[in-house]
Structure 1
Amino acid sequence: MTTTSAPDERPSVAMSDEAYGALRASAALWAGTSVLITNRRGQVLVQRVSYRPTRLLPGGAVDKGESPAQGADREVKEELGVTAPITRGLAVDWVSPTGRATPPAMKFPGELLHVFDGGVWDDDQIAAIQPAPGEIDDIEFVEPADLPALMAPDDARRALSALRARINGAGPVFLEDGIPIAPTVLVRVGILRTARARHHLPFHPTPVPDGLEVRQSWVWAFAPDGRVLVLLEPDTGGAVLPGGTPEPEDGGDPVATAVREAGEEAAAELADARYLGYPSDPDGPCARVRYAAALMSLDAAQVDPATGRTYVRILATPEQALEFFDWGPSAAAEQLTAAHQARVLLGIPKAAHQPVTELTDPLSW
């Protein structure tokens, strides 16, 4: 009979094929799959199901002889009644026997659960969804920050980890009970763990009308590689672009406001500011102007005198940066277009998609 060595024994110690198979079967885990789908606002699709009080991502058990990707494709078809391209993995989670609350009679041995990227769905794709009757009561798109309140703890951790991995773009992450074994800065700061401020304000790529107060001045600060500076709040995980509220020393100049605020918040030096336009706030009414500028240098991080925070500074592509804000699909797209037009005028190339980079030391270009 063919023999083989047990994985935890010395090579000279042999086991029968039958014994080796029994040993491996005794350590077998379940296999599961799920799919992360978002809408154009960055909200996550979750399902209300008939058999659990908490929300779930589309997905389920991997059938015998089926790969996790095949299982993900099948589950989307069965549960949502549509076909979604499953082209890449976002996370592989080792769910420990104690990492999920299950009835003792189930004898849950643990699970390897794969999370796949279902993409960003437009209104037509969402309208085509037909939830499986008797199993899926309804679907909804929710803010990432709401997932912990709606899902089981391990499901919420896994979904947020997969979403951060998709934004970061470094490839699939490996999790243990939903927690990355190698946390990125997005995980460490907890990006998307608190609600994104909702600013669905129309964007105007035109000068501010006479008489309309400028109440904020923010800037897309482009590094030479085409990425932009984003500031992360260490206590909330919230994200902001450099900028803020005009002060008397700015002399009524929004560019001076943006330059001063970038220095105070991020110890950043800017040059060659280009006007983009302004979102208009009807509740003010007021204008919240936007600029693009070249990022020339960064000094050591310091406490922002206005907030008392020391922001975590990262470089992200403009497209990644938009994931951190809820500006509404139309206004976000218009502002992104204006920022890229200014980038070209600044002579800066378009950034390749890449993981975000934390900036901790002084730097100059």
Structure 2
Amino acid sequence: MTTTSAPDERPSVAMREEAYGALRASAALWAGTSVLITNQRGQVLLQRVTYRPTRLLPGGAVDKGESPAQGAAREMEEELGVTATVTRGLAVDWGSPAGRTTPPAMKFPGELLHVFDGGVWDAEQIAAIRPRPGEIDGINFVEPAELPALMSPGDARRALSALRARINGGGPAFLEDGLPIAPTVLDRVGVLRTARACHHFPFHTHPAPDDLTVRQSWVWAFAPDGRVLVLLEPDTGAACLPGGTPEPEDHTDPETTLIRAARKEAAAELTGVRYLGYLSDLGERCARVRFAAVLTSLGPAPVDPATGRTYVRILATPEQALELFDWGPPAAEQLRRSTRPAAS
């Protein structure tokens, strides 16, 4: 009895099953699985383990006879005390022997590591975690930008690539030593490698009081397909909305500020500008004003006169945009108001 030829043989040569099995076994790889879980602020769950100094996503080796998804569910139950299933893959990583330092006695052949989406956990789900005694010292939710300092280099690259793949919303990313073989714009710019701006300020829907200085005027600019314009700093990957700080030429009109700034920094033309409210930054006694508008056109990417940089412009769904910021419930409220009819 014969099987189909091995890839490196002449097509006319057939192999016996035993020889073919031995050939495939000689190229066998380890298989690993992990789960990426975030809280409602977009912070990533990491485990402190007893057997290594760096932190890990929940996960481990795939046992004989189980699928990577089954292994991920088993590891969550064993390590976190949580019963759950995983159905969405975020990344498959080829961990090469050259990309990892292992003791020679292990004869590490390379590993295929699967990263699954564990979802966004609320306070009740987080409270139900019971770390496995003797193996898991504890868990923390950390900012994505902190991953390289807390994890091994390959693990951090893989986790960030998987998180970007989740934000992109397409299929799983295919990685080699943690880096995508087909990088998206989020990968190329390095989104989430630097700390996200944390704006957990009270949001008010009435006009800003006269005694508060308007420090910032930003806009949720909606394209016709419902996506919003987000600007990414090319050197840090940090995200922001179009807009800027008031200038004398704006005559203290926040709407004029955002139209001018969006045109200068992003070549964005807006119409239908509508006031949403303001954030009160009590530490500075100032107002950060927010608007919604229709994005009518984008010209060639300009150099921002305020920073000397050319922003990378992307269109993201509102849900994707929220993951690029650490703005909390006020940002979600702004988006809810921005989609209401103008008469509401």
Shorter chain as normaliser: what TM range?
A: over 0.9
Displacement of 1:210 in angstroms is: 2.7
Counterpart of 2:299?
299
Aligned partner of residue 12 in structure 2, secondary structure: coil
- How far apart are residue 339 of structure 1 and its match? 2.2
Unaligned runs of 5+ in 2: none
Q: Aligned letter for 1:68?
A: P
RMSD: 1.1
Alignment of 1:1-365 (within 5 A): 1-328=1-328, 330-341=329-340, 344-345=341-342
Q: Using the alignment, how far apart are the partners of 1:338 and 1:305 within structure 2?
A: 31
State the Cα deviation string for residues 146-168 of structure 1 (Å, max 9, x = none). Answer: 10010001100000000000000
- Letter aligned with residue 271 of structure 2: A
Is the Cα contact below 8 Å between 1:94 and 1:175 reproduced in 2? yes
* 1:264 CA drift (Å): 0.8
One-letter code aligned to 1:333: A
Q: Distance in 1 between matches of 2:3 and 2:217?
A: 72
**Hey, what's the Cα distance between the residues in 2 that align with 1:108 and 1:185?**
33
Name the stretch that deviates more: 172-181 or 196-205.
Answer: 196-205
Deviation at 1:6, TM superposition (A): 2.1
Q: 1:188 Cα shift?
A: 0.3
Deviation at 1:307, TM superposition (A): 0.7
- CA deviation after TM superposition for structure 1 residue 4, in Å: 4.1
The AA in structure 1 aligned to 2:278 is Y
C-alpha spacing 1:262/1:150, structure 2 compared with 1 (3 Å): same
* Residue 207 of structure 1: how far off its partner (Å): 1.5
Amino acid at match of 1:158: R
Kept after mapping to 1: 8 A contact 2:94/2:111: yes
Deviation at 1:85, TM superposition (A): 3.4
Asked if the contact 1:4–1:16 (Cα under 8 Å) also holds between the matched residues in 2, the reply is no
**Mapped contact 1:205–1:338 kept (Cα < 8 A):** no
**Pairwise CA distance, 1:333:** 2.3
- Give the paired residue count: 343
Q: Residues 122-164 of structure 1: CA distance to partner in whole angstroms, max 9, x if unpaired?
A: 0010011000000000100000011001000110000000000
Q: CA deviation at 1:331?
A: 1.9
1:305-361 Cα offsets, whole Å, 9 max, x none, are 001110001100111111111112x223222212222xx449xxxxxxxxxxxxxxx
Q: Determine if contact 1:4/1:17 at 8 Å carries over to the other structure.
A: no
Aligned partner of residue 161 in structure 1, secondary structure: helix
Moved more, 41-50 or 318-327: 318-327
Match in the other structure for 1:361: none
Amino acid at match of 1:228: V
Shift of 1:84: 2.9
Quick one: percent identity of the two aligned structures?
A: 80
Shift of 1:233: 0.2
Q: Is the 8 A contact 1:229 1:314 kept in 2?
A: yes
Aligned 8 A contact 2:273 2:291 in 1:
yes
Residues 221 and 295, structure 1, Cα contact 8 Å, conserved in 2: yes
Kindly tell me: are residues 212 and 4 of structure 1, through their superposed partners in 2, closer, same or farther at Cα, counting changes over 3 Å? Answer: closer
Partner Cα distance (1:41, 1:212) in 2: 28
Tell me how far apart the structure 2 counterparts of residues 4 and 250 of structure 1 sit (CA, whole Å).
74
- 2: CA distance, partners of 1:266 / 1:18: 63
Q: Partners of 1:159 and 1:206 in 2: how far apart?
A: 41
Cα distance in 2 for partners of 1:148, 1:279 equals 32
Does structure 1 retain, via aligned residues, the 8 Å contact 2:200–2:330? yes
Higher mean C-alpha displacement, 300-309 vs 207-216 = 207-216
Rate the CA distance shift 1:97–1:286 in 2: closer, same or farther, 3 A: same
Greater mean alpha carbon deviation, residues 97-106 or residues 59-68 = 97-106
Q: Say if 2:2 and 2:14, in contact at 8 Å, map to a contact too.
A: no
Q: Residue by residue, what CA displacement relative to the aligned partner does 1:168-220 show, whole Å, maximum 9, x if unpaired?
A: 00111100111000000000000001011111111112211232211110000
Distance in 2 between the 1:94 and 1:43 partners? 25
> Equivalent residue of 2:97, what SS?
coil
Conserved in 1, the CA contact under 8 Å of 2:39 and 2:122?
yes
Q: Taking structure 1 as reference, are residues 78 and 248 closer, same or farther at Cα in structure 2, changes over 3 Å only?
A: same
1-structure distance, mates of 2:155, 2:215: 41
Aligned residue identity for 1:42: G
Query: Normalising by structure 2, what TM-score?
Result: 0.98
Mark the CA change 1:284 to 1:65 in structure 2 (over 3 Å): closer, same or farther.
same
1:65 to partner: Cα distance: 0.5
Alpha-carbon contact 2:44-2:143 (below 8 Å) kept? yes
